[in-house]
């Protein structure tokens, strides 16, 4: 199988995974990527009410740290710098999970591997568990989120180093 064929297969698999998320999860992922990647005026595109504006502003402020966070991801088995990565990743993750628009580790991982790249994958189960277990997350949501992390994901011996190929974005449909 050629390189282009493998990339195409990866893209199709990622599109299928995204299609399996609930509509509100898809919208949250699209909105989050719009904010993080500065793809549009998120306030104009995604704001319906004052609560949306507050949430978008909070994400915008948190996501300004993503570039710095990418540079902090340790390579190998070292613990050097882990507190800076995990502390910041925990705070941003908890803020996103508290919005109650991501219902599973799969949706969280899908978003965060696009926000931070493939190198962050091994750290996502720990960040997700820590964020989901915080008292700021309602108890019933905590249970649901923590139960969504499979044993395979929690104990994976290795993670793919391939960068995500599919970055979903909202497509505005013009009225006829």
pLDDT per residue as tens digits for the range 114-141: 999 999 999 999 999 999 999 999 999 9
Distance of alpha carbon 68 from alpha carbon 89, whole angstroms: 11
> 80 pLDDT exceeds 90?
no
pLDDT at 67: 93
0.85 exceeded by pTM:
yes
Work out the end-to-end distance of the chain between its first and last CA atoms, rounded to an integer number of angstroms: 43
How confident is the model at residue 132, as a pLDDT?
98
Query: Does the structure show a pLDDT above 70 at 5?
Result: no
Distance between CA atoms of 142 and 158, rounded to whole angstroms? Answer: 26
CB 35 within 8 A of CB 114: no
Model confidence at 53, pLDDT cuts 50, 70, 90, reads: confident
pLDDT at 11 exceeding the cut of 80: yes
What's the mean pLDDT when you consider all of the chain? 90
pLDDT band at 9 (very low <50, low <70, confident <90, very high): confident
Please tell me the least confidently modeled range out of 41-55, 110-124, 143-157.
41-55
What is the reported pLDDT for 60? 94
Minimum mean pLDDT among 2-11, 66-75, 101-110: which range?
2-11
Query: What is the average pLDDT across 162-175?
Result: 81
CA distance 168 to 79: 33
Please calculate the CA angle 60-61-66 and round it to the nearest 5 degrees: 85
- 25 pLDDT band (50/70/90 cuts)? very high
pLDDT of residue 2: 57
């Amino acid at each position: 199988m050629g390189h282009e064929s493998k990339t195409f297969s990866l893209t199709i698999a990622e599109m299928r995974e995204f299609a399996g998320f609930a509509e509100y999860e898809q919208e949250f992922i699209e909105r989050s990527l719009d904010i993080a990647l500065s793809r549009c005026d998120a306030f104009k595109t995604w704001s319906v009410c004052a609560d949306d504006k507050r949430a978008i502003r909070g994400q915008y402020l948190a996501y300004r740290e993503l570039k710095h966070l990418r540079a902090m991801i340790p390579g190998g088995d070292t613990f050097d710098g882990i507190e800076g990565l995990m502390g910041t990743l925990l705070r941003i993750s908890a803020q996103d999970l508290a919005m109650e628009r991501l219902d599973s580790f799969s949706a969280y991982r899908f978003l965060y591997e696009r926000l931070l790249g493939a190198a962050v994958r091994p750290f996502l189960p720990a960040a997700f568990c820590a964020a989901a277990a915080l008292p700021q997350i309602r108890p019933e949501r905590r249970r649901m989120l923590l139960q969504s992390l499979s044993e395979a994901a929690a104990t994976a011996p290795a993670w793919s180093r391939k960068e995500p190929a599919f970055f979903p974005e909202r497509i505005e449909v013009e009225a006829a």
